[in-house]
Amino acid sequence: MHGVLFVDPSTALGGAEHSLLLLLEHLDRDRFRPHLATQPGELAREARAHDVAVHEVPLPQLRGQPSAPGRLFRGGAALSRIVRDQGISLLHANTLRAGAYAGVAAQLARRPLLWHVRDIEIPRLHARLLVALSDAVVTVSAAVAEALPCRASVIPNGVCADDFAGDHCKDARRLRLRWGVPEGAPLVGQVARLAPWKGQRHVLAAAERVHRELPDAWFALAGGDVFGDAAAYARELRQCVAESSAAAHVVLPGHQQDVAAALASLDLLVHASRAEPFGRILIEAAAAGVPVVAFASGGVPEIVVHEETGLLVPDGDEAALAAGILRLLREPALARRLGERARLRARERFGIGLLTRRLEALMEELIARG
């Protein structure tokens, strides 16, 4: 059995962390013994709940810090001690910062490093350094791979379709009632953490256009300040909503712990991220059979097939985004057809079991090469 040290310094749960937890849950425990190096917080708690050996290590921010070299060496040295003490055969870096720390540890402990790239906009110098430290690079989309100065294996994020296929109607009704959405009113939603690049303002602009055509349509911009760095943006967004012509029909319900219930409450999902590396919510919506209108940005076209599993519109085009929303609200048969095809594609292309086996094969290859 191979010991694998997964490294992710996050204290909260973003898309990268949810994807990592799902991977850890479905990893073949007869072949791999997973360990997680992280900092105290939500990720550490959830990993323990998945029966993963957790090692809490200080892995603080590096970018813009005068003490970054010292922090990097101390963190890397701490990881290398875990590698030796636990008989680790391979390191897996789940984020950009994780790659820096794990890269030092891999060099010190002389173990192979797999860098799992989940970001699309990485400073060129940082990317080159991490590529040099890595024995293999895997990306979540071809769009991410194309942005890197190396060859990479593309393995998309996976979804457990069964988690979204159950009957969530009661929970969905409770959410709509809590949000103040009238029964029977069409509800369009965005589910994304609060960040400018996630495009909440684009969705709000599209909502104003839709509201002029369909005054009974409602919009939910669901998301919270997951990493504690978006307080100013959250205030600005609330002000924008208050000043919007569609304000009476727009709700900001905050972070949604139960994503399956949030998706079940929607008539359609809108996705307006710019430079999107993947878009985890898109495969979750697909698994739930929820139709999607999305900007054709980054890795999104690798998930949403235009006119087959959803509608794609030009990146940043708010008028086209509104037109796509109006089309699906006015053509419920089309919306249902797109949702059902998306559900099938989610199982066929993004099933977590299939994608975990692909990553396991790559890990075994790296371990065999030493």
CA 24, 27, 30, 36 dihedral sign is: negative
Average pLDDT of the segment spanning 70-93: 95
Helices (H), 292-351: 318-330, 332-349
What is the rounded CA–CA span in Å between residue 75 and residue 239?
A: 41
- Per-residue pLDDT tens digits for 145-199: 999 999 999 999 999 999 998 777 778 889 999 999 999 999 999 999 999 999 9
- What pLDDT band is residue 40 in, cutting at 50, 70 and 90? very high
Report the pLDDT value the prediction gives residue 147, as an integer from 0 to 100.
Answer: 92
Q: List the beta bridge partners of residue 292.
A: 269
Query: Coil, strand or helix: which one is 191?
Result: strand
DSSP 8-state code for residue 258: -
What is the rounded CA–CA span in Å between residue 367 and residue 55?
A: 22
Report the pLDDT value the prediction gives residue 270, as an integer from 0 to 100.
Answer: 98
Residue 110 has pLDDT above 80, yes or no: yes
CB atoms within 10 A of CB 211: 21
Report the pLDDT value the prediction gives residue 246, as an integer from 0 to 100.
Answer: 95
- Per-residue pLDDT tens digits for 270-286: 999 999 999 999 999 99
Report the pLDDT value the prediction gives residue 9, as an integer from 0 to 100.
Answer: 96
Average pLDDT of the segment spanning 232-258: 95
What is the rounded CA–CA span in Å between residue 290 and residue 337?
A: 10
Query: Of 250, 234, 280, nearest to 188 (Cα)?
Result: 250
Report the pLDDT value the prediction gives residue 369, as an integer from 0 to 100.
Answer: 87
Query: Of 366, 304, 309, 370, nearest to 341 (Cα)?
Result: 309
DSSP 8-state code for residue 224: -
Question: Quick check: do 2-158+351-369 and 162-349 share a fold?
Answer: yes
Contact 106, 113 (CB under 8 A): yes
Helices (H), the chain: 15-26, 42-49, 68-86, 96-109, 124-133, 142-146, 162-165, 169-179, 200-213, 231-243, 259-264, 280-288, 318-330, 332-349, 352-369
Residue percentage of the chain with pLDDT more than 90: 90
Residue 370 has pLDDT above 80, yes or no: no
**Nearest-5° angle of CA 184, CA 186, CA 192?**
130
CATH architecture designation of domain 2-158+351-369: 3-Layer(aba) Sandwich (3.40)
Q: List the beta bridge partners of residue 269.
A: 189, 292
Label the pairing between strands 292-295 and 218-222. Answer: unpaired
**Nearest-5° angle of CA 7, CA 13, CA 15?**
85
CATH number for domain 162-349, candidates 3.40.50.2000, 3.40.50.2300, 3.40.50.300, 3.40.50.2020: 3.40.50.2000
What is the rounded CA–CA span in Å between residue 208 and residue 214?
A: 10
What is the rounded CA–CA span in Å between residue 209 and residue 205?
A: 7
- Per-residue pLDDT tens digits for 283-294: 999 999 999 999
**Nearest-5° angle of CA 83, CA 70, CA 127?**
75
Contact 117, 144 (CB under 8 A): yes
- Tell me the average pLDDT of the chain: 95
Q: List the beta bridge partners of residue 91.
A: 5, 113
Average pLDDT of the segment spanning 303-312: 98
Average pLDDT of the segment spanning 82-102: 96
Instruction: Name all contacts of 294-302 with Cβ < 8 Å and 24+ positions apart.
Output: 294/270, 295/199, 295/202, 295/271, 295/321, 297/273, 298/120, 298/141, 298/143, 298/144, 298/273, 299/120, 299/140, 299/141, 299/142, 299/143, 299/144, 300/271, 300/273, 300/276, 302/141, 302/142, 302/143, 302/156
Average pLDDT of the segment spanning 48-67: 91
In the chain, where are the structural domains located?
Answer: 2-158+351-369, 162-349
Report the pLDDT value the prediction gives residue 65, as an integer from 0 to 100.
Answer: 82
What is the rounded CA–CA span in Å between residue 147 and residue 125?
A: 13
